Structure 1
């Protein structure tokens, strides 16, 4: 039984509402993205922008595609009205998307999409349509998660055939930007962890993030009860249980936090114990490689990689160490704590115990308390020029070391004035000189 249908925006003159917005209206779900087929896209876009207080702009001048960004994150897209709307619908990916609404309330449904909507079934219009744009196989996995539908058996067989042809090179891979957008639509859902497992089941993970698959079957022991791959998926699940609004770089950081383990696996020849020394640093490099391939913004790549690279940093045992932890990793907080907690909660192996979990929670609380007490770094007490004059230093790395040392002392509450900072730096320089002399 569908819910009561939400109101629709006014139809542009001669326009037809197509695709996802029409599908969601039939399901009784409010839409934020409206796709319109109209006789004159430029005029329709400008008229809608004026009516809703949005901004109209051309997306593809050659094909006359226009878009309106409206208040509240609502988007309207406008394309030329095809000569035969029904025939155009039969070229779409799935029957539930091959529906349209006219201004008069008529539902165009040439492929039986309403029947599949009622059955919560995802059925292709045709395999030829999937092959015409292979990105649609990623969309199949995404729709299963975001719509909570299930692939119809014949459609799943066809999806797997297309995936096999993509893997063999028989079909060309879509542009990475398009793949990224589909994967991100899946990762942004509250059930993203199940979506990652579905990508693996359909063979799509091997085409998207094959590095994750290297952990399948790699048993860890100790704190872990899952193999490396499923532990990463469970960490994503644990993250979203606590931070359902987590941004994408944080979601990637949780999913990929142990991606370096398969490449750092070592086994002691005597005891047979395994280790993964340096997997955090290797994982950061792999994360950078993965997310650059998927064309994420540079800042997002750097943040996710930094989270992976820092997730093994020991938590502080006392208040002073907590302040140092915050000072040194402020740019990653609180996201780093979220990844570390998700990692811990995803691990329920034989070494895990109520006592160890309590100790971990207390260490987390120390960091959070220190962060609350000092949400921003203290005001710099000395600048580089003052440091160079005080210590008689030429420009170079040593100046940076000195500036960082006095900044950390201020964050720890060891100095609070410029005079105290100067005295601290003189002692710091003397200690450093003595250590070098002893060396």
Structure 2
């Protein structure tokens, strides 16, 4: 069923265990190798020397080492257990309870090869899942990334873990560990399907409960889906068009309308449902959600900024397009990808070929302006020069003048130092006395 690849080069006396053994049996390439070796420290240093990588301890007390090799390859080395079979039977799923010897002998105490052939995800035991509840998230991730399906008893056990986590009978995993599982899922082309699976297993409520607030909230207008499904469809549309999208952009697509349920209101005159300010509220919620999941602060800021800007109007002309690029340059081109994914996920009764053409034209104007001016023009005057022209010291007025001058230069209204001085002088004359 699977075409096996050549075995990797083994450290002396090593066993290849877990996911890398599973991937070898499936005939797929792996960049993450888990080794059980007699002496992890010595094996790690030798492996790093042989393959040009860097070796360092993960946990010196337990003898866990890692080697980062070229091209993103990672090797984790742990002490070889006295009872390999017992160690494998403590793992999460049968397809991971596998080991290989250098001679190609397969150790399979839980029947993982049979499940591999059936593309079945089966727990080794319910107790193993409960021993580390993060394995519930891993089940959803493996369904998507491996293309397998949880068998009924394992799905029931995962659902029970989710229930017991929600009620406090089991401790929640560390946010960083949940984040890493979610990121592994979001990195897959079928990430939207994976998020939906987290929901059906009861895990999304433990991860991003704010996202579920959109379930059943019908929008109408340009939208044919409720808020929850629209967010998932936007992520799907993004990845269909931008498979290389980074994690902040993927999060922004998934969360772009997360503020709508809390911004929901009825227009007093028409009774029509409105969501005014959902972009601002969504940016705040995105910041809260991703901070809770311990994402790096720069990723949090970028995802929140994208969500906050996703409703900005597209330009109707060339000058507006240049202003759009100037004011949002730091978010481009990701912002355009997000806006297009949002638009393509909305196919409600107000959507039409004409509205789609108008949207595409606005996008084309922005891309043309970005191509014409790929970088912001250099400053024409320094802060000291502006203070001299305005006759003032440092303060908000100088900052406002610098921003106005930069935008005028980006729009082509100011083309040199003389123009810049005249522009700033006009600001001084127009300022209220």
Instruction: Tell me if TM exceeds 0.5.
Output: yes
Could you tell me how far apart the structure 1 residues matched to 2:221 and 2:392 are?
49
**What does the per-residue CA deviation read over 1:98-157, in whole Å, with 9 as the maximum and x for residues that have no partner?**
000011211000000000000000000000000000000000000000000000011001
Give the conservation status (yes or no) of the 8 Å contact 2:7–2:104.
no
Matches for 1:72-111 after TM superposition, within 5 Å: 72-111=71-110
Match in the other structure for 1:191: 190
Residue of structure 2 equivalent to 1:394: 393
Deviation, structure 1 residue 294:
0.4
Aligned to 2:322: 323
1:273 maps to which residue? 272
Q: C-alpha displacement at 1:9, in angstroms?
A: 2.3
**Large movers: runs of 4+ above 4 Å:** none
For 2:2, the equivalent position in structure 1 comes to: 2
Higher mean Cα deviation, 291-300 or 422-431?
A: 422-431
Query: What's the CA shift for 1:270?
Result: 4.6
Pairs within 5 Å for 1:293-372? 293-372=292-371
How far does the alpha carbon of each residue in 1:24-53 deviate from its partner, in whole angstroms, 9 at most, with x for none? 000000111100000000000011111111
SS in 2 for 1:305: helix
| Structure 1 position 116 matched with structure 2 position 96 | no
Match of 1:234 in 2: 233
Structure 1 match to 2:373:
374
**TM-score (normalised: structure 1):** 0.98
In structure 2, the gaps of 5 or more residues are none
Q: Deviations over 1:336-368 (max 9, x none)?
A: 111111100000001100000000000000001
Aligned residue for 1:211? 210
Separation in 2 of the partners of 1:259 and 1:133?
A: 30
* Cα distance per residue 1:373-400 (max 9 Å; x no partner): 1111001101111100111111111100
Pairwise CA distance, 1:298: 0.3
Structure 2 equivalent of residue 126 of structure 1: 125
Q: Are the aligned partners of 2:263 and 2:278 in contact in 1 as well (CA < 8 Å)?
A: yes
Q: How many residues end up aligned between the 2 structures?
A: 433
For residue 269 of structure 1, report the CA deviation from its aligned partner: 4.2
Query: Mind listing any 5+ residue stretches in structure 1 that lack a counterpart?
Result: none
Q: Give the TM-score of the pair, scaled to structure 2.
A: 0.99
Contact kept in structure 1, 2:211 and 2:228, CA below 8 Å = yes
Match of 1:154 in 2: 153
Residue 19 of structure 2 corresponds to: 20
2:176 paired residue number: 177
For the residue of structure 1 that corresponds to 2:7, the secondary structure is: coil
CA–CA distance in structure 1, aligned partners of residues 422 and 268 of structure 2: 53
| Cα drift, residue 8 of structure 1 | 2.6
- Equivalent position of 1:65 in the other structure: 64
Deviations 1:194-232 (A, max 9, x none): 001101110100000000000000000000000001000
Q: What is the root-mean-square deviation of aligned Cα atoms in Å? A: 0.8
Change (3 A) 1:189 1:272: same
Q: Distance in 2 between matches of 1:96 and 1:316?
A: 53
- Partner of 1:185, secondary structure, is helix
- 8 A contact 2:5–2:28 mirrored in 1: yes
The Cα of 1:272 is off from its aligned counterpart by 2.1
2:40 maps to what in 1?
Answer: 41
Partner secondary structure for residue 330 of structure 2: helix
Tell me whether 6-15 or 387-396 shows the greater mean CA deviation: 6-15
Measure, in 2, the Cα distance between the counterparts of 1:323 and 1:270: 37
